[in-house]
Structure 1
Amino acid sequence: MVDMHGNSPKSLRQDLLKQRKEFASGNGYGAAEAGLIAGINHFLANEGNFIRSIALYWPIQNEVDLRPTLLSWMKNGAQNRLALPYARPDKHLDFFEWQEGDALIPSAHGVPEPDPENENRQQLIPDCILIPCVGWSSSVLNGKSRYWRLGYGGGYFDRTLAQLRKDNPNLICMGVGFNWQKLDDSQWAAQTHDEPLDLLLTESGLLR
């Protein structure tokens, strides 16, 4: 359970990021990282044939690095493509094809992102998006579990997902997090503008 000091999402994020930094330097991180990588490999082995493009994230602040796993998936299929998000000034995300070794540019938040002026890398609408969680929660609606992501607070993914789901109704949006990041209703509850996740990957496996 995550302790919460104060009741604002901002202080909760700060607590969670501090705890993730401590967790990353502790004894349990290696096993949790291996569990997440095994989970994404299992997903790709079972459902990767239906996916042609995956938008991944460039890991920051002790997020698990899934790039080697996804690069292997890309190399295993001639049509498989990877993409990285580019943060637009209007706080939406565009996704551009990414290949290992591409020159990236720092975003306003210091995250490496693709150069939208690179004519060799086209923009695409991904079939699957992997989104790292600062925290996450679950709720039950009509007997069905739903999963929600607490992010860094910029709102980029929520705005982008609302549009992408119109453009691609089969989009798979997968949150990536750790078991200990789960929040209860007294700590944080999703707001009406928050977009639900289709899947949540933790070291325990894939939650649907």
Structure 2
Amino acid sequence: MHGNSPKSLRQDLLAQRKQFAASASYSIAQEAILASLAAFLENHDTQIQSIALYCPIQDEPDLRPALLAWAQSKTGRALALPFARPDKHLDFYAWEAGDLLIPSRHGVPEPDPNNPRRPQVTPDCILIPCVGWSESRVGDKTHYWRLGYGGGYFDRTLAQLRKAKPSLLCVGIGFDWQKLEDSHWQAQAHDEPLDAMLTESGLFITY
């Protein structure tokens, strides 16, 4: 892996993830992530009633079966998927298994924003897949950062949503080996921090 540019770093990480997904270790790591997710949701049961998830692309961990089970296990719980607006912000719409999804211009399956049966949702928690991630420490506080695909959608959206909903929890989803050292990549001023990072080793949280 090299840090010549964020673009080349992303390409390296995505190639590594593709290789990792073809190995026996992938399913073991994904099961561990799902176990960590279940523990996180149990510990935040009163705080989280709605979760924005993602449709996995390019070998991202698939959380959908576990989250559908979570949503169905208690009345009032809801799931949502992101819809990418032309201004590079995300809106979230209610999602249920079997809903028709439409590929975005980036090839990501998205909900239909015009579906009257699936209203827009402001989630309590957003689960965000990472291409890479890093950790930094300022004083006695640890921050976690996400390297994404470079579109800036999540950073713009989080900056806006956090003003409207300070209790919002943003959790990165990734693998241990995706952790980046400062020599590889450092978060920029426009990057929004994650509230927690969830990998096969468990939950790393800022509080």
Per the normalisation by structure 2, the TM-score is 0.97
Matched with 1:176 is 173
Distance 2:151 2:145 in 1: 15
What displacement does 1:139 show? 0.2
Distance 2:54 2:61 in 1: 10
Say whether residues 1:155 and 2:162 are aligned partners.
no
Matched with 2:75 is 78
Say whether residues 1:57 and 2:47 are aligned partners.
no
One-letter amino acid of the counterpart of residue 176, structure 2: N
1:1-22 CA-to-partner distances (Å, cap 9, x unmatched) read xx21x51000000000000000
Q: How does 1:101-180 map to 2 (within 5 A)?
A: 101-180=98-177
One-letter amino acid of the counterpart of residue 19, structure 1: Q
Matched with 2:191 is 194
Percent of aligned positions with the same letter in both sequences? 64
Distance 1:50 1:90 in 2: 30
What are structure 1's unaligned runs of at least 5 residues?
none
One-letter amino acid of the counterpart of residue 123, structure 1: Q
Local SS of the residue matching 2:126: strand
What displacement does 1:47 show? 1.1
Q: 2:91 aligns with which of 86, 89, 94?
A: 94
1:2-59 CA-to-partner distances (Å, cap 9, x unmatched) read x21x510000000000000000001211211111010001111221332110000000
Say whether residues 1:33 and 2:62 are aligned partners.
no
Distance 1:46 1:206 in 2: 11
Q: 1:207 aligns with which of 198, 204, 207?
A: 204
Distance 1:186 1:26 in 2: 27
One-letter amino acid of the counterpart of residue 134, structure 1: V
My pick for the range that moved more, 151-160 or 140-149, is: 140-149
Local SS of the residue matching 1:18: helix
One-letter amino acid of the counterpart of residue 190, structure 1: A
1:58-93 CA-to-partner distances (Å, cap 9, x unmatched) read 001000100000000100111000000000000000
Aligned residue pairs, count: 205
Per the normalisation by structure 1, the TM-score is 0.97
My pick for the range that moved more, 42-51 or 73-82, is: 42-51
Structure 1 runs (4+) deviating above 4 angstroms are none
Distance 2:164 2:122 in 1: 8
Distance 2:178 2:131 in 1: 7
Distance 2:75 2:97 in 1: 15
Local SS of the residue matching 2:44: helix
One-letter amino acid of the counterpart of residue 79, structure 1: G
One-letter amino acid of the counterpart of residue 133, structure 2: W
Local SS of the residue matching 2:88: coil
One-letter amino acid of the counterpart of residue 146, structure 1: H
